[in-house]
Structures are given as structure tokens and as C-alpha cells.
Structure 1
Amino acid sequence: MPKDARATRDALIRAGAHLFAAHGIDAARTRDIVALAGQANDSAVTYHFGSRDGLLDAILRAGVTRMEPARAAALPGLRPDDLHAIVDAVVRPTADELRTPHGRDFLRITAQLAGRAGIRDHRPPPVLHGTALQQQLHLLETACRATLPEPIALERISLFIAFLTAALADRATRTRPSGTPPSVPDHDTFTTDLTAMLTAALQAPATNRLPATNPPPYL
């Protein structure tokens, strides 16, 4: 790719991430993305990415790629019987995105997409295919299914993703424009506590209660 084209793509990715995070992936205007990227032609997004969805996909792939080295390094040490270690390996690289402006934009975008992770029907989005994150999520499912029925395990992992992305997006939003995060708790304490909370939620005993087929008339 020519150097100028690469620079334009990078500028559009940064601008798109910022406005998708600030205004929402559906509400952000393409013309504003193009202007923020310093481009004069409103068709720049279509030219470089094919569509707004193509731009969003590029933003998500950039974020996943940033985290891949840390995830890949953690994979060999993970065992299906150590749920806490698996959760920590999922959470920590994601939480480290809080350290940079583009990372915080990425987190605010992923919170909007948490319901599209495809966990419940085993249909992860293409951006996860072949990644260390996909392997981590497979380990997480294996660990949960060791103690939970499959539907409950998948539901919990879906909610795990929703809670994780919401918590990180909230902290990203509360981080000052200067990059100064909330002072309490500090980053490491926040990440450790978030990991503990999510592990505990996944380990909660499954309920065996079923809805009554013939409830009393007064219920």
C-alpha cells in the first residue's frame, strides 16, 4: 500500500474510532469522520474501506491485533481447570486498552457490540477467527461447562462479555481527556478486582429450579 494511502487509512481509523465511541456506531456521521481525518472527499471511507461497516471492521481488527501478543503469550500457561487464570488472561490485555486514547475509544465501541459476540450460538464474528482471543474464549467455555450445563455456561459467558465491556467502557468514559484515569481504584487494583468479580460470577452454583407448570391461581 502506498505510504500516503496508509496514512489516510490510519487517519480515518482514528477518526472513526473516536466518533463511533463518542456518538455511537449508528449515530456518528460519515462526513464528520472524513473531516476529522483531514480529508476533503466524503467518499474517502467508501474508497478505503468499502463502507462504514468496513471502517468499523478495520477499527475492531486494529484493537484485537494490538492485544494479540499478550494473549498469545498467556495461552501456553492456561489450563481448563484454572478458571481464574483464564479470566485474568481475557481481562488484563483488554483492560490495558484503557492506557491510550485509541484504546479507550476501542473499549467504548466494543461495549456497543457486546450482544453480537455470537457466544450463545457458537457463531463468533469474523474479526475473532483464528485469534488468541478466540482460543481464550474456547478455554473459558470448556472451564465453565465442566461444572455447568451448556446453555447456562454459554449464557454466563455472554453476560461475562457484556459486563466486562460495560465496566471498561465506563472507566474509559470517566478517564479525563488528559489521559488521567480515576484515582480510585488505581488501574492494577481495578483490573484485579474486575477479574475476581467476573470469576466469582462464572463460578456461582447453577440453579436447578424450573418454572412451575401449574402455578397456584393466586400467583
Structure 2
Amino acid sequence: MPRDARATRERLLRAGARRFAADGIDAARTRDIVALAGQGNDSAITYHFGSRAGLLEAILRAGVDRMEPARTTDLDTAGLPATVAAIVEPTAAELRTDHGRDFLRITAQLAGRAGIRDHRLPALLHGTNLARQLHHLETACRTALPEPLALERISNIIGFLTTALADRAVRGDEGALLDHDTFVTDLTAMLTAALQAPVHTPATPRP
């Protein structure tokens, strides 16, 4: 790809991430993305990514790829807290950059489509270290929980994780009560506690 084309593609990725994060993945307008990228023609997105959806997928894939080297999969003997930390810490590291914060705000909008409850992760996660970590997490949870409850809890804590990170991405460190490391440690502890919560059997109604 020529140097100018690579530069244009990168500008579209950054502009798309900013608009999808700020305006929403459904509400962000192609014309605004193109304008922010300094392009004069809406067809720039089609040329480089095939479609608006292709641009969003490229943004998500770039974010997943950034985190992959930091995602340990040596979790066979790790306990539940260590497994949760292995998922949380590389994700929270995205808070340290502008494009990372945009990525976190986008993923929070997609948490409900993660496919954890029915074992249908998005295609872009197939074969990734994150997918392997989620498998380890399910295995660890199922030592104490039946499969449906384990999957329900994992899906819920992923939703909580993405929402908490997106909220901090919007507010920034200046508007936060906790410093980054304390925030990540406490978030990991809360998610672990949710997974380890006792199982309560609903009381049988009296006749």
C-alpha cells in the first residue's frame, strides 16, 4: 500500500474511533468521520474498508491486536483472581492513550453482543489470547458453578468491566477518585467477588 494511502487509512481509523466513541456506533455519521479525517469524499471509507461496518471492525481488530502481546494464557494452574486479573489488566491499559480510550468506549456499546452466554464469540476474537483467557475463566468458574450460572456471571462481569472502563475513559484520571493502579486492583477484586458469590436457591412459595 502506498505511503499516502496508509496515512489516509490511519487517519480514517482514528477519526472513526473518535466518532463511534463519542456519537455511538449506530449514530456516528460517515460524513463526520470523513471530515474529521481530512478527506473530501465519503467514498474514502468504502475504498479503504469496504463499508462503514468494515471500518468499525478494523477499529475493533486494531484494539484487540494491541492487547494481545500482554495477554498471558499460562493460566492452567492460576486461581480465579489471577485469571480475572489477566483479563482486566491489559484491557485497562487502554486507558493510557487517546485511541485506547476511544476503543473502550466503543466496546462498552458492544458488550451485550459478546456471545458469551451461547459460546458464540465474535469472529474477530477467534484464535486470540483473549478467547483463550475467557475459556480459562469459564473452566475456573465451572468448578463451583453449573454451566448456565457460570456463563451468566461471566457475561455480566464482562458487561460491568466494559462499562466501568468506558466511564473512566470519559472522565479521565483527573475526574477519578482512585489512581489507575488502585482502580484496576479494586475492579479486579469486585469482578472476582461477583464470580465467587454464593449460589442462592430461590425460596419455594408457600401454597
Q: Give the number of equivalent residue pairs.
A: 207
Following superposition of structure 1 onto structure 2, how do residues 63-212 of structure 1 map, counting pairs within 5 Å? 63-71=63-71, 74-76=72-74, 78-79=75-76, 82-175=79-172, 180-209=173-202, 212=205
Residue deviations 1:148-185, cap 9 Å, x none?
0100000001001100000000000101xxxx543520
1:205 Cα deviation after fit? 1.4
Residue type matched to 2:164 in 1?
Answer: A
Structural RMSD (CA): 1.4
Displacement of 1:18: 0.3
Q: Which amino acid aligns with 1:202?
A: L
Distance 1:80 1:146 in 2: 13
Aligned residue in 2 for 1:55? 55
* Matched residue, 1:8: 8
Runs ≥4 in structure 1, deviation > 4 angstroms?
none
* Alignment-mate amino acid for residue 10 of structure 2: D
Task: Summarize the Cα distance change of 1:12–1:19 in structure 2 as closer, same or farther, 3 Å threshold.
Answer: same
**Could you give the per-residue CA deviations for residues 89-132 of structure 1, whole angstroms, max 9, x where no partner exists?**
00001001000000000000000000010001100001101100
The structure-2 alpha-carbon separation of the partners of 1:6 and 1:132, relative to structure 1 and needing over 3 Å to count, comes to same
8 Å contact from structure 1 (residues 20, 28) kept in 2: yes
CA distance in 2, matches of 1:9, 1:211: 60
**Compared CA separation, residues 91 and 181, structure 1 to 2 (3 A):** farther
| TM-aligned CA deviation for residue 81 of structure 1 | 5.3
CA contact (8 A) 1:12 1:45 kept: yes
Q: How far does residue 208 in structure 1 lie from its aligned partner after superposition?
A: 2.4
- Equivalent AA in structure 2 for residue 129 of structure 1: H
How far is 1:210 from its partner?
Answer: 6.6
CA distance in 1 between partners of 2:174 and 2:109 (Å) = 21
Deviation at 1:207, TM superposition (A): 2.0
- 1:80 Cα deviation (Å)? 5.5
Call closer, same or farther: CA 1:211–1:55 in 2, change over 3 Å: farther
- Alpha-carbon offset, residue 51 of structure 1: 1.0
Q: Distance in 2 between matches of 1:18 and 1:211?
A: 51
> % of aligned pairs identical?
72
CA contact (8 A) 2:105 2:166 kept: yes
Pair 1:53–1:210, CA change in 2 (3 A): farther
Contact 1:104 1:172 survives alignment (8 Å): yes
Shift of 1:79: 2.9
Q: Which residues of structure 1 form unaligned runs of 5+?
A: none
Task: Report the Cα distance in structure 1 between the residues aligned to 2:67 and 2:81, rounded to whole angstroms.
Answer: 19
